[in-house]
Amino acid sequence: MSAREPQLANRETDRIDGLIGRATQLGLTFSALAPEHDASGAAPREQFDALLRADLLKLVVSRADGGHGAGLAAASAVVRAIAHGDPSVALILSMHYCQHAAIVNSERASIGDWPAHLARRLSREAAVGAALLNAAQVEPGLGSPSHGGLPETVARRDGDVWRITGHKRYVTGAPLLSWISVLARTDEAEPRLGQFLVPRDAPGVQIVETWDPLGMRATVSHDVVFSDVRVPLADVVALKPASLGLQRHPHNTAWYFTLVGSVYDGAARAARDWLLGFLNGRRPGALGGTSLAGVPTIQQTVGAIEVLLQTNDWLLRSSSAAFDRGEAPDTLAATVKHVTIDNAIKAVGLAIELAGNHGLARSNPLERHHRNVLCSQIHAPSNSLISGNAGRAALVGWRPGEPVHHQP
């Protein structure tokens, strides 16, 4: 190693730390805006304007295309910081990061799923503006493609274009997107399956405002209907025989699982922080002026919350760092999603228990944090499916007298 290399490494660390610091400050700003967006369900446009000004939308875009070229550890840290202020904003951002991480991986690993002209166009747009990108995969009939089956959305060849027709649900950030990566099958005799890149404002694209959930309301995850939308033949990603089913690269899955866990960990930390302030400030007459923070049983429960969140912190930090070094087994990210989401739900549940009626009052943010973390359970594949897969793998891999090892 040359004498200059440690200096360059330190400079890069400082640069990424500076971006994470900006995210932390924006999280504080977004926390003041979150109640209004939770009540209205309005798209968080001003928050993404702020993310653009802070240079955070291009965090994972390759440096060759004008981005910061950050890895999963930095992306997780930024998402957690934004989620502490508003997890809805963080979820939209995390989906954008996942898509651009897939572009970078396609080129770096020579997978070739992303055509070079598409990779350049989307990366360079994201490096200079608010060109948000997300996928549209779930359908009313199919549900999530992670459970198998082919989409009903169809791509029909018409001369030098594809024409896309179909109905997608739960398209996170729909009104804010510039591009939608639409999962569709071709109408060929032997159908193929791929992602068709559609500009959100293209003729025939209609956003139907169906999103009205319990929590995560500002993700504006509305339905999108595509009616005979024109897509150039070359603007397709990973077009392969439909008989192979939907193929997910472990790299892309690791980003998705880790960043989803990061979103809800951030929400749980916001709940914990509110609880600590409440317990220190609440002084019931029965305690003679002493705050609830001094009660041993309450300290015990707060300790349980801390154990859950410290576990999340270690898992998210260490697993994402191992992934960036190329040392993480493929199965690790699913475990991280499972544990961090379960821990987030448990931690906020304990906070509600300690706060009592105050925790359920709409005048306090804890009930919003509670609603938000409950939404973590809808992200496919479900935790029950993840644990079921892990159990089957362990049972199939068992041999008498031999320990079971998780293979990388």
State whether 96 and 21 are in the same domain: yes
Q: Are residues 257 and 236 in the same domain?
A: no
Residue at which a domain ends, from 89, 108, 131: 131
- For 8, the enclosing helix (H) or strand (E) is helix 4-40
What are the phi and psi torsion angles at 109 (to 5°)? -90, 5
Average pLDDT, the chain: 93
Any domain includes 405: no
Can you tell me the distance from the alpha carbon of 284 to that of 320, in angstroms, rounded to the nearest whole number? 43
- What are 352-396's pLDDT values in tens digits? 999 999 999 999 999 999 999 999 999 988 889 899 988 998 888
CATH number, position 12? 1.10.540.10
Please tell me whether residue 400 adopts helix, strand or coil conformation: coil
Q: Is the pLDDT of residue 122 over 50?
A: yes
Residue 118: which of 129, 133, 128 has the closest Cα?
A: 133
Q: How many structural domains comprise the chain? A: 3
Residue 267 lies in a domain: yes
Residues 275 and 370 in one domain: yes
Q: Is residue 186 part of a domain?
A: yes
Per the domain annotation, does 116 fall within a domain? yes
Q: What is the mean pLDDT of residues 199-221?
A: 98
Say yes or no to pLDDT of 96 above 90. yes
- pLDDT band with cut points at 50, 70 and 90 for residue 408: very low
Domain match, 86 and 152 both = no
CA dist 10 and 238 (Å) reads 37
Residues, the chain: 408
**Domain coverage including residue 61:** 4-131
In a domain, 40, yes or no: yes
Q: Quick check: is 109 in a domain?
A: yes
Q: Quick one: pLDDT at residue 113?
A: 85
In this structure, the answer to whether residues 274 and 393 fall within a common structural domain is: yes
Per residue in 167-189, pLDDT tens? 999 999 999 999 999 999 999 99
Last residue of a domain, one of 91, 108, 131: 131
Please report whether residue 403 resides in a domain. no
Do both 32 and 99 map to the same domain? yes
What is the model's pTM?
0.94
CATH number at residue 339: 1.20.140.10
User: Same domain for 261 and 240?
Assistant: no
Residues 12, 98 within the same domain: yes
